[in-house]
Structure 1
Amino acid sequence: MHCGLCCNASIIINQKTMFYRLFLVVLLGVSFLKLNAQEQSKSLNLEQSIALALANNLDLKTADLNAETEAIRYKQSRNALLPGLNADYNLGLSNGRSIDPFTNAYVNEQLTYSNAGLSLSATVFNGFRLLNTLKQSSLNKAAAVMEHKEAQQNLILDVTLAFLQVLNSRELLKLAQSRVLTSQEQLQRLAKMQEEETGDPAAYRDLQGQVATDEASVAEAHNNLKNAVTSLETLLNANVNINADELTLLLDFQEREDTAAAIYEEALLNLASVRAKELRLEAATKGVVVARSQYSPEIRVFANLGTNYSSAARVFDDAGTQLKQTGDFVTVSGTEYSVFTEENLFDASTISYTDQFNNNLNSTAGVSVSIPLFNGFQAKNAVQLQKIEKDQAKLNLEQTKLSLKQNIQQAYNDTEAAYIRLTKLTEQEAAFEDSFRINETRFNLGVSTSVEYLISKNKLDNARINLTTVKYEYVLRNKVLEYYKGGVN
């Protein structure tokens, strides 16, 4: 019986040894391939990661574009205060019956014509619509700047949390790997005892199962680490491959001394999302004033300068006189004589393009007044829509403040709870370390069973996992509170 068990144990040990060797070869091969494929692998601290994200993140670039758009709209509103100056020039060819622009008479010939004009217009008064629109655009521009800052703050927080998640996953992977080594050492010890026919087969099989469980935990932890690294790399969008083993961050486990109410007051003053909503409300309020200006008359001044050219235009010079029969007759002494008249003669010559443009100059200037009498209630509806937009902006601000207060209080409560758990789990780890050391010694001496050993080992392993998790949870929640105060350090 013992020989059979010994033989089976030896076969199992050899199989396990071959499996570990194969696993190490594959792992080294994959590591070598990754080393060659990821030549841009980079060691980063938190500040460097944030800097990369701020320079390359796509969501932040979208916020940049929104801010640029509002800046251009502000320029448009500002430039609308300037007078309008326009020039026009036309040159054409006409065939057949048309109006000569020089004489305003009908002609039936090929005609080359040209005209030029310069017009000036300016708004003197329109219910201060332009000024209020400029103020509204200025507020929207400032709101867009705040929204860009909000996007920056959110990105910094996201990068910080992703960075901490990588560190947490890395520590959990190290714990899982340490658990495997501890279990494998015990398995090797029991295997030798099996060879010497002094071991307990049930204990050996228990350790085999524990090793398999621990190896599965390593695989899961390794996958979680890869996913955490991928999330961080996506936020950075910097074409770098992050080496999780080289990420560094100083962790602070000091208890907070501020209060949720104090953090909320700082958030109202410093958090960009609150200021952005306040500016949007101010802009919407100004929008109501802009809409009401449609009830006011509009006064504009204008001036125009124009000239024209026509190829049919001629100038006539005096060329003397000549006698011309009129077709009438007079009878003198029975003889008919033709009646002649003296006719002036003129030489026609074309007028040059430049002379016509100089001679045909004309100008106008005046004032126009537009008084709104009835426009299908467009002004009334515009005012009502702007009031609704103002009310919506007010609700958005109130909702932001309410959610902010609730989130801060919840985050503060979670931080306090995490600190208490951190304290208690530190005590628990120390207690389970002592308990495991005693149980391991007893198990090695054969005093206790494998069940007692595994229970003690699992308690210690779980305590270490829980302690590691709560450490990063506490740091994470502190970072969230710093974000609410207006910045993440």
Structure 2
Amino acid sequence: MKQFVILSFLFFSLTAFTQELSLQECVDLALQNNIALKRSELQKHTAEINLKSTRSGILPQLNASYNLGINNGRSIDPYTNDYIDQQLKFSSAGLSLYNQLFKGFELRNSIQRDRFNLQASEAETEQAQQQLILDVTLAYFQILNNRDLLQLARLRLEATKKQTDRLKSLYDQGEGNPADFTDILGQISNDEASVVDAETQLERSVLELANLLNLDTLPKVQEIAFLAELEKYKLSATEVYEDALNNLATIEAKRLRIEASKEDVQVSRSFYSPEISLFAQLHTNYSSVARTFNETGTRLVETGNFITLDEVNYPVKTNQTLFTDEKIGYLDQLNNNLNSVVGVAVDIPIFNGLRAKRTVKLKKIELEDSKLELEDTKNDLQQEIRMAWNQMQASYRNYHLLQEQVEAYEKSYQVNEVRFTNGVSNFVEYIFSKNNLDRARINMANARYEYMIRVKILEYYRGA
């Protein structure tokens, strides 16, 4: 059973892309697999983490410390602060708290800056998605265009081969002009080369789509039912540009980067401001030589002094308290030596090597650069929209002109084909008419797809 499941999985994996994919399925695969889009999403996640990290600055910093060691030789007993000359085992523990209360609104401005950066990263990810959808759509249309061109090349070759069979029969019978047969053999080679070239172009466009989808196998795409007549695009280049300024994610991303740069300038100005912070500490220690002394009783001992009575010396005695030493326990020492500190610190910048001034200037330059980048993006966008719009208009006009040309060449070719078949005209007139018709059909197919591609590009700029 397990082997059957594995074989079934492998079968479906191998046949997953043997079926034809629709445009929407290609877009979905690209959004799921494309490496450039994944990298853009990673940059967005990085911006999210940066914002969370900055927000955490609101919280106080709480740190604990602990150490344990052995000291040999002369040292200070941490319990009694006396000098000792013996082996000492020591330990200490501490807890410290720090919280910035004010520094020229640095924290607030940093949070706002990183929030704008996150929003800009989200807009850039959206822009990457929009660009990927456009690239997949254009690659998809290019495959359809190349597929049509390949079909035209094959039909052209097939029509030439039909005439070859007739001319070969005449050539074998010694009738007609022998040069016509050799000429059409050369035309067959030319048509076959056109088929090979069309196949190469089709394979190249399929590889481009596979790269966008990040697939190891070559995808097959479905045909799209286009309208018989092309609908004229109704919007002007100016209208498309105005929509792009309001809807295109890349413009919004540039604007948000400007807002982030403004906040970054305010952050850099906090270097001029005093810093007010709250601090607190809790500390204790342990010493292996620490002892406690307990009273066990008293005894009489001579003091070394004497009292003379009647010329007799009597020694002076006194009561001496007796003690026994006892090692103080580890936890008892930590508890007995506990001390705490609480306070407020003010750090006033007086001179820092002009670092604050230089930092503010650099941030202002970055702000101006981000503004110029937005203007540059707008200028490039306007130029690209105008070029795409002009190409769209030209391809629309060319398509209708080529329709008329194809109709005229079809009639001319039909007449010349009949004349050539009946031996009234020569091969030169026939092949000239045939080539004119073939070129017109190819040009009309290219114009049709060129128009649809330019319309897609304009709709992409509009954010549609």
TM-score range, shorter chain: over 0.9
CA separation of 1:187 and 1:292: change in aligned 2, threshold 3 A: same
Which residue of structure 2 aligns with residue 16 of structure 1? Answer: none
Q: In structure 2, how many angstroms separate the alpha carbons of the residues matched to 1:333 and 1:251? A: 144
| 1:247 equivalenced with 2:247 (yes/no) | no
1:46 is aligned to 23
* 1:15-414 correspondence runs (5 A): 40-243=17-220, 246-252=221-227, 253-327=230-304, 340-414=317-391
Quick one: which of 446, 455, 460 aligns to 2:437?
460
Equivalents in 2 of 1:151, 1:265: separation in Å? 21
Distance 1:173 1:332 in 2: 143
Deviations 1:188-214 (A, max 9, x none): 110011122222101111111110100
Shift of 1:327: 5.0
| TM-score, scaled to structure 1 | 0.89
Partner amino acid for 2:233? Answer: R
1:324, distance to aligned residue in structure 2 (A)? 3.4
After superposition, the Cα gap between the structure-2 partners of 1:265 and 1:43, relative to the gap in structure 1 and judged at 3 Å, is same
Query: Offset of 1:414 from its aligned partner?
Result: 0.9
Q: Distance in 2 between matches of 1:95 and 1:335?
A: 54
Letter in structure 2 aligned against 1:282: E
Deviation string 1:388-433 (CA, Å, 9 cap, x unpaired) is: 0000100000011111111111111110111000110011111101
SS in 2 for 1:239: coil
Distance in 2 (alpha carbons) for counterparts of 1:157 and 1:221: 24
Q: Say if 1:288 and 1:383, in contact at 8 Å, map to a contact too.
A: yes
**Shift, 1:303, TM fit:** 1.1
Q: Residues of 2 paired with 1:420 and 1:85: CA distance?
A: 73
Separation in structure 2 between the aligned mates of residue 97 and residue 337 of structure 1, nearest angstrom: 45
Where does residue 3 of structure 2 map in the other structure? none
- Is the contact made by 1:314 and 1:348 (CA closer than 8 Å) also made in structure 2? yes
Deviation per CA, 1:170-226, whole angstroms, max 9, x where unpaired? 111111111110111101110011122222101111111110100011111111111
Partner of 1:430: 407
Deviation at 1:338, TM superposition (A): 5.3
Give the distance between the partners of 1:256 and 1:235, measured in 2 at CA: 28
Q: Which amino acid aligns with 2:224?
A: L
Q: Which amino acid aligns with 1:61?
A: K
Q: Distance in 2 between matches of 1:133 and 1:231?
A: 43
Partner of 2:9: none
1:67-116, CA deviations, whole angstroms, 9 ceiling, x for partnerless residues?
A: 01111000011111111111112222222222111111112222222211
* Residues 421-430 or 37-46, more deviating: 37-46
Q: CA deviation at 1:39?
A: 7.7
Change (3 A) 1:39 1:411: closer
Report the secondary structure of 2:463's partner residue: coil
1:26-57 CA-partner distances (Å, limit 9, x unpaired): xxxxxxxxxxx988423111111111011001
Which residue type is aligned with residue 266 of structure 2?
A: V
1:325 to partner: Cα distance: 4.2
Q: Equivalent residue of 2:298, what SS? A: strand
Q: Identity of counterpart residues, as a percentage?
A: 47
Report the number of matched residues: 449
Query: Normalised by the size of structure 2, how large is the TM-score?
Result: 0.93
2:4 corresponds in structure 1 to none
Structure 1 residue 307, shift from structure 2 partner:
1.4
Structure 1, unaligned runs of 5 or more: 1-36
